[in-house]
Structure 1
Amino acid sequence: MKNFLQAIGQSTRGFLREEEGAQVVEYALIIAVVSIALVVALKALTTGGSFTSFIDRVNKCLTTTTCT
């Protein structure tokens, strides 16, 4: 029983020292913050209009020579 508890203790210490999971969480948080920033930026760019009109305006600017 003592060996079993020692093995569990060693496994737990190894798990707590593992840093790969922490990196995944950090990347997920970075992606979440960037996503929120993009949504806020797009919201600011569509002042007075809808998101669809903004996309239409971007499409017009990319496909024609005149941009309004």
Structure 2
Amino acid sequence: MPAAVDDYGDVTLVPLPEESWDTSVSLWHGDRWSCLVDLWTEQEGRSDLVLDVDVFEHGPGHRFVVQLVYVP
């Protein structure tokens, strides 16, 4: 688990609800999507934690490379 999640406190990350895409952003960089995604916890719903991830096309699917998890 990333240190930012440990430092954030005693929380449990949960699967992202559809509404998470209302506040998340993505930018195309020619060969990948660079995405900032608000993370959700069981305790508080949308949290202050953000996932910074790059998404690449990879064969018939996608490859995800996590850059950071942090509180901006």
* TM-based fold match above 0.5: no
Structure ID, larger Rg: 1
Normalising by the residue count of structure 2, what TM-score does the alignment of the two structures yield? 0.17
Normalising by the residue count of structure 1, what TM-score does the alignment of the two structures yield? 0.17
Using CA pairs under 8 Å that are at least 6 residues apart, name the structure with larger relative contact order, 1 or 2.
Answer: 2
Which structure dedicates a bigger proportion of its chain to helix?
1
